[in-house]
Structure 1
Amino acid sequence: MSLVKEVKDIYPDIQFIMISQVNSKDMIGKAYKNGIEYYISKPINAIEIETIINKVKNNIERDNKLTNIRQLIQGEDRKIFKKFNYEDCLKKVLYRIGIIGEAGSSDLIIIVNYIIKNNLKNKNFSLKKICLEYTDNPKTMEQRMRRAANLAIENIASIGLEDFMNEIFMDYSNSLFNFEQVRIEMNYLKNKTNKRGKVDLKKFLYGLAYHCEKIDTEYSENGL
């Protein structure tokens, strides 16, 4: 872990996968804090390792594409870059929480972009009215987003059951959902209750907007 931290300080783009028989949550949390991307517990599973390596590979390729595009458009109209940045960030978050392939994912991107563009993050708004700007059937659009969000809380709860210190679980369990509802979903998956965790769709949308504006702020502070 000391080696990872020292290398990350010099080469921050390097991504690490750690394999260990240590199961201490404190140690695993420290490993993530020091900069690893994934932690695999022994005994190892070849399919799991192959899947994680491919995920890291895809992350690197996506980051390289983002860097290339940023370099190409640097000095041009910042609004063009911001549009790409938000959408790319949203897709990355939806990918990480396992719903990028859902029908409602494109609807989520549209609505979150609208929230950011119109600065609605701290305001109460009518989701139906926003949906009406993009479809004649706002109820169906909202249902698609809700189904995607329900799948997301199930995926996050599943990750939490396997590894409470998992980076994805820590990043999104409280920012996209009410954490108490995530706990209820975890208990449901453990067959401890018949009650499922509920999703506050507006909080989910606010959370997605927060993560993408956070990335944009980091870019701005770096003069991009």
Structure 2
Amino acid sequence: MLKFYVVEDDPAVRKMLSRIVAESGLGEVIGEAEDGACASVIAVQAADVVIIDLLMSGRDGIETVKALREANYSGRFIMISQVENKEMIGEAYQQGVDTFIQKPINRLEVLAVLRRVSDHLMLEKSMQAIRNSLRLLEVSGTADMKPGRLLKQERSIEQQARSLLLQLGIAGEAGTSDLIRIMKWLKTQEQAQQILPDLPPLKTIYEQLAISSPQQPGANLQKDVRAIEQRIRRLVMQTLTHLSSLGLNDYGHPTFEYFAARLFDFQEVRLRMRELEEPSKSSASKLNLRKFLYVFYVESCSVSE
């Protein structure tokens, strides 16, 4: 169950949000504030998520988010806004806002956003638990050579990513160099922020790769971004197909057993397995690229730190 804190100067909106949170079954609202200045880090520190209005009569949402981040609050921010100013929205994202809810408040939109943030938090906690378990195994000297649990050794993020590509059977596929560059960039972001609570937006990741490309950087940014996105999508589909094929041949295969449910939603693995049995020329699988990249990054970091 998640804990929410609401910062909103309209009492009717606060009441509505509290009711939606309670009815969603995702958690509870543990506190409220009618102004950003009242939302101190002490007040919100127990909350997993702060739902905050952008424009308030006192301290606005962006200033409040910035102040809480500087005070080391590590939770998530959902911002409520009726503003369409791209610069202001961009600044909000830069300060650490995860996503937006548009005014006037729509119950279905709020529920969709809350569930998405909840899923990301659950995934993050799950991945952190895996990382902690791996560290304990390494410290105790009992780590074995099962997929994803290599013996501790000093390896770079690139070396470990390449090792994972080999385990997954996709080392020779197009898009692997893009994936490795993404891993290296995410590592620099984690080192700069001390922690990587979640992936940046995929578009931001692809843009950073396109901008840093050694071949004509920024020559045609949008075209390069689309090309990178397509290569990553094809690579992820190849991974899903390979793991599904392993599962069809041997449901107990260690690579399938370890990675399938971690990198993908398992219902999509089952769907792809059925498609391979038919066989089908196309796939109806819905790829969760964020989950794949996040888990691949966590696995790449597990013995490289």
Using the size of structure 1 for normalisation, the TM-score is 0.56
Of all paired residues, the percent bearing the same amino acid is 28
Q: CA separation of 1:172/1:125 partners in 2, compared to 1, >3 Å: closer, same or farther?
A: same
Could you give the per-residue CA deviations for residues 129-153 of structure 1, whole angstroms, max 9, x where no partner exists?
A: 2222231311111110110110110
Confirm or deny that 1:200 pairs with 2:271.
no
The structure whose Rg is larger is: 2
* Correspondence for 1:165: 252
Q: Which has the higher strand share?
A: 2
How far 1:124 moved relative to its partner?
4.6
Q: CA separation of 1:146/1:121 partners in 2, compared to 1, >3 Å: closer, same or farther?
A: farther
Counterparts of 2:145 and 2:197, CA distance in 1: 34
Confirm or deny that 1:181 pairs with 2:256.
no
Query: Where does structure 1 lack aligned partners over 5 or more consecutive residues?
Result: 1-11, 13-34, 38-62, 71-80, 218-224
How far 1:108 moved relative to its partner?
0.5
Counterparts of 2:178 and 2:279, CA distance in 1: 33
Counterparts of 1:36 and 1:211, CA distance in 2: 14
Q: Partner letter of residue 169 of structure 2?
A: G
How far 1:85 moved relative to its partner?
2.1
Confirm or deny that 1:106 pairs with 2:177.
yes
How far 1:36 moved relative to its partner?
8.7
**Runs of 4+, deviation exceeding 3 Å:** 192-196
Confirm or deny that 1:123 pairs with 2:198.
yes
* Correspondence for 1:212: 300
How far 1:117 moved relative to its partner?
2.6
Q: Partner letter of residue 168 of structure 1?
A: T
CA contact (8 A) 1:183 1:197 kept: no
Could you give the per-residue CA deviations for residues 137-185 of structure 1, whole angstroms, max 9, x where no partner exists?
A: 1111111011011011000000001111111101210111111100110
Secondary structure of 1:173's partner?
A: helix
CA contact (8 A) 2:248 2:273 kept: yes
Q: CA separation of 1:216/1:150 partners in 2, compared to 1, >3 Å: closer, same or farther?
A: same
Could you give the per-residue CA deviations for residues 3-58 of structure 1, whole angstroms, max 9, x where no partner exists?
A: xxxxxxxxx9xxxxxxxxxxxxxxxxxxxxxx798xxxxxxxxxxxxxxxxxxxxx
Counterparts of 2:238 and 2:283, CA distance in 1: 15
Counterparts of 1:108 and 1:141, CA distance in 2: 9
How far 1:209 moved relative to its partner?
0.8
Structure with the bigger RCO (C-alpha within 8 Å, sep 6+) is 1
Could you give the per-residue CA deviations for residues 76-95 of structure 1, whole angstroms, max 9, x where no partner exists?
A: xxxxx6xx521111111111
**Superposition pairs of residues 80-95 of structure 1, within 5 angstroms:** 84-95=155-166
Q: Which has the higher helix share?
A: 1
Query: Where does structure 2 lack aligned partners over 5 or more consecutive residues?
Result: 1-140, 211-220
Give the number of equivalent residue pairs: 145
CA contact (8 A) 2:160 2:301 kept: no
* Correspondence for 1:134: 209
Secondary structure of 1:114's partner?
A: helix
Aligned Cα root-mean-square deviation (Å): 3.0
* Correspondence for 1:154: 241
Secondary structure of 1:103's partner?
A: coil
Q: Partner letter of residue 274 of structure 2?
A: N
Q: Partner letter of residue 287 of structure 2?
A: V
Q: Partner letter of residue 133 of structure 1?
A: Q
CA contact (8 A) 1:131 1:142 kept: yes
